[in-house]
Structure 1
Amino acid sequence: MSSPPPPKPVACGDGWLSLSISTESGESNKRLRRGGGGGAVEDDGCVLHDEVLLAVFAASSLETDDLVRCAATCRRWRRLVSGDAEYICGLKPLSSRYVEALAVGFFHQSRDQEDDGDSGAPPRFVPLPSFSSRFAGADLHMAFDDLLFRNSRLVASRNGRLVLELQRSSRAAVLRLVVCNPMTGDMSILPILSGKDRPGHYACALLTADDLHHTEDPLPTHGHGSAAAFRLLVVYKRRKFTACRSYSSNTNAWGKEGKLTGVKIGGRRLGEMSGGVAARGAVFWLSKNLVFGFGLDTMEATAENIPWKWNSKLCFCHGSPVENRRLAVSPSDGRLCAVQVERHVSNSSVTINVISRRHDEYGVGGSKGIRRWEWEKTRNVELGGLIPLRDVKRICLRGVCEKSGVVFLTTGADMYAEQTDMAMYALDMEKKEARLVRAPPGRCRRSSSSFFGYEMDRVTYLASLSHGVRC
């Protein structure tokens, strides 16, 4: 009997971007449309054809924020930048600077009835004030269909996409994952993994074309649908080895199970790892003080401990001095880094600092070469003066948006997170500014809750300029 055709991506309703654009007046949309006599309205005095201008936008050294300024110049440039964002980003390397506007808020989910009142509720979205004002009119609170996503579990958030595990009350022995983009409304329900294919405890990583650019099996960077292309890696434990399986949106199917060489890691520890990050052809996860990763081309796994000299001064978070950090990727050089909270005993000051992983030889995932962590003093952010620290006994690092440089922090009056959080802040690492944001009631307890900062991908961000530009 032939196997059923693989599922194809479907739309989960209008995304925030389309809902916001639909609120624009019809006349404005007509002016931004190609052709149709719009030349008189769009006349910018430039004799270059659209194709030539697009080539300049795509091939030049313009950063993302530079393209935003170009879009603000005139209607014609705004139409070109937003309407052909996929083409421009497909030919342009990653930005070497933070883009603050990419951060739009965070998703949170509590699985504790004491905190939430409904342990089966889908994840909830809390927007930053700037995002709410820019997307006025869009229903930002209805990111998920309650029926489909009820009893789901949020497992990862990266590059504008979310990964959720659908769970059923019958507790069938299957793994069903969903990858969706709330901004565009795109959703892919992945084929189930059941029977001998179903992993136990697992860690996952969501990769896009930018992550796979320098690997032997890249995703398309231009063409129809390339902006939504992704690959999802699932790492899990078999009896005698650590296994990996990959789903590709190009084939709408899971690949064959692969075997990681090098170090092995226990299944329970894999289940404790949050969504992974990709850096220089490898993918990494963090579990307490252990960084586990493997090369995407070599499939060789490594495990290394962050040196203890970086742990001695960390603030306690849920009673542990080594959980108050998150992995990210530096936009300036693409290196793996760890963002963490540091408390100085001498003067009681609290700092958010960054340590980066330096790899001098061979591939990042290989066993050869020198790997060491370095303190980036220029990226230190002293919290004194930015947030009230009086009566604060703990500062918990909840999430990091790696492309926008926004870090989410919560403060508490007790050290071991037995009381509810006092407040939550969004810290801009580049501008060194902190803003109070609306926070759900809760405590920093990983076993019963999940928290993921959410930011747009570059293509969606530039496309959003079609209904208004804010520089």
Structure 2
Amino acid sequence: MGNQGALPDVILELVFLGLDSLLWLHRAASTCERWRHIIAGDAFRALYGKRPSVVAGSYHNQGGGYSRPRFEPSPSAAAFDARHFSLDFLPGEGTKYWGWRIKDRRESLLLIYREDWKAQHRDLVVCEPLTRRQKVIPPPNPSVNYWDDEVVLLDGGGGGGGGGIGMTSFTVFLYSYEGGRIRACMFTSGSSSWCKKNICKPPRLFVVGFAAGRRYWHDREKMVIAFDQSTLKFSSFVLPNHQFSERRKMTLKVGHDGEACIVVDGDGIIKIFARQKGDGSGEGGEEWALEKTIQLSAAMLGLPEPRFLGLTRDQPQDAGMMRIILRHDRGGVPGVPSTSMRFHLNMETMEVECLPSPDLHYGGYPYEFPWPPSLRA
């Protein structure tokens, strides 16, 4: 690399700030110790601004769960050695009695459920593949079946880069159903045990998702139950002028104001419900209102009438954006597969952007490079 010491740090910082690609910045950080320390330093991070997001690829659960999840690099990150993303540092390989399943991911961390079927031992592991660090999460008391229960990985709310997430700053939420009750458990990186909350649940309850610090369920009618991760309290409310059905899809999005909104898709008619401003969630309960109705049509996309048009399962994390999918039959010829296109729709401006191609890693768990960069030379 020549005489790297000839340039002072302040000059190198300016060079790194001028890099057009975030991936190049990560490559520079992996070149040598000095460059990595400069890019990871507080001074450069203050100049650079918010945490950059660079997707290295996706992890995929293997069929049957008998093998460790596999990693598929994205084309832009192909220059990095795939061995950096291996999960071989996690114990338990080499026997047919071990089961593996990724439950969630967030930025550079994975949340993995691991089970030794022979010993009947189950645990959760939070790990960062590039730094090969891991933390085994002790089971709650009484124990649960991680395979079927919902487990999500969230920001730690402190440390790890100003309230972000890292191996020293993360939160694991576990939601299980027992005897007509929801049990919500929280484990933080700095603790050694779980904090638990319970609530009686309706006879039928279905997951909506997580957004803006709260987890939501619905009963496929009008009732919605929310759990606030900051207060560890449950609340419930009714969606006005809405009747759910088996054909409708409900999901969560974050609006441009940073607040959660509930999006309901029914035969191409999108209804967006928002929490009322100034709602204190007092004794009367919180109130939500229908904020907008969007009629999805092929005309708004400049395309002929499709066989199917609606929300995708893999919704983007961008505030105010939703992802829709359009499917066409190829002339109705038997045996000829249908084509599909994906679009991003701005919920506020109604602007539509066609995605260049179906997501290569659709159905997987996108993995981001750590920030600050941790990949050593």
* TM superposition shift of 1:343: 4.4
CA drift at 1:429: 4.6
Q: How many residues were matched structurally?
A: 349
Structure 1 residue aligned with 2:185: 245
Structure 1: tracts of 5 or more residues without a match: 1-26, 47-56, 58-64, 112-117, 213-218, 313-319, 345-350, 414-418, 441-449
Q: Does the 8 Å CA contact 2:111/2:127 hold for their aligned counterparts?
A: yes
- 1:245 Cα deviation from its structure 2 partner: 2.0
Note the C-alpha offset of 1:207.
1.6
Aligned to 2:349: none
Q: In structure 1, what residue type is equivalent to 2:259?
A: R
Does structure 2 retain, via aligned residues, the 8 Å contact 1:82–1:464? no
C-alpha separation in 2, matches of 1:382 and 1:456: 34
**Superposition TM-score, scaled by structure 2 size:** 0.65
Instruction: State the shift of 1:105 in Å.
Output: 5.2
Q: Which residue of 2 aligns with 1:317?
A: none
Structure 2 contact 175–183 (Cα < 8 Å) conserved: yes
Q: Which residue of structure 2 lines up, in the alignment, with residue 176 of structure 1? A: 123
Query: Paired residue for 1:156, among 104, 125, 128?
Result: 104
**Higher strand fraction (1 or 2):** 2
Say whether the 8 Å CA contact 1:260–1:300 is kept in structure 2.
Answer: no
- 3-state SS of paired residue (2:76): helix
The within-5 A match list for 1:298-377 is 298-304=231-237, 306=239, 309=242, 320-323=246-249, 325-330=250-255, 332-338=256-262, 343-344=267-268, 355-362=272-279, 368-375=285-292
CA distance in 2, matches of 1:180, 1:432: 35
Cα separation, 2, equivalents of 1:466 and 1:84: 15
Deviations 1:54-89 (A, max 9, x none): xxx9xxxxxxx9996xx89x99xx978832379948
Q: CA contact under 8 A between 1:243 and 1:259: conserved in structure 2?
A: yes
Deviations 1:93-133 (A, max 9, x none): x79xxx8x55565544475xxxxxx5634444455xxx422
Question: What SS does structure 1 have at the residue aligned with 2:99?
Answer: coil
1:296: Cα distance to partner?
A: 3.0
Q: For residues 85 and 135 of structure 1, what CA distance do their matches in structure 2 show?
A: 29
| Match in the other structure for 1:235 | 175
Aligned to 1:215: none
Tell me the percent identity.
Answer: 17
Asked if the contact 2:306–2:327 (Cα under 8 Å) also holds between the matched residues in 1, the reply is no
Aligned partner of 1:39 in structure 2 is 8
Q: How does 1:35-434 map to 2 (within 5 A)?
A: 36-39=5-8, 42=11, 82-84=39-41, 88=45, 102=54, 106-109=58-61, 111=63, 120-126=66-72, 131-139=74-82, 143-145=86-88, 148=92, 151-170=99-118, 172=120, 175-182=122-129, 184-193=131-140, 196-198=142-144, 202-209=149-156, 212=157, 219-220=158-159, 222=161, 227-228=166-167, 229-239=169-179, 241-251=181-191, 253-256=192-195, 258-260=196-198, 264=201, 269=205, 273=207, 276-279=209-212, 281-285=213-217, 291-304=224-237, 306=239, 309=242, 320-323=246-249, 325-330=250-255, 332-338=256-262, 343-344=267-268, 355-362=272-279, 368-375=285-292, 392-393=307-308, 397-403=312-318, 407=323, 411=327, 427-429=343-345, 432-434=353-355
Q: What amino acid sits opposite 1:264 in the alignment? A: K
Q: Secondary structure at the match of 2:313?
A: strand
In 1, the alpha carbon distance for the partners of 2:84 and 2:299 equals: 33
8 Å contact from structure 1 (residues 202, 235) kept in 2: yes
TM-score by length of 1: 0.54
Deviates most, 397-406 or 284-293: 284-293
3-state SS in 2 of match to 1:42: helix
User: Relative to structure 1, is the Cα distance of residues 137 and 408 closer, same or farther in structure 2, using a 3 angstrom cutoff?
Assistant: farther
- Which one scores higher on RCO, CA 8 angstroms, separation ≥ 6? 1
Q: In structure 1, what is the Cα distance between the partners aligned to 2:308 and 2:190?
A: 49
Q: CA deviation at 1:359?
A: 3.4
Gap runs ≥5 in structure 2: 30-34, 330-334, 347-351
Q: What is the distance in 2 between the residues matched to 1:387 and 1:193?
A: 53
Please give the secondary structure, in 2, of the residue aligned with 1:284: strand
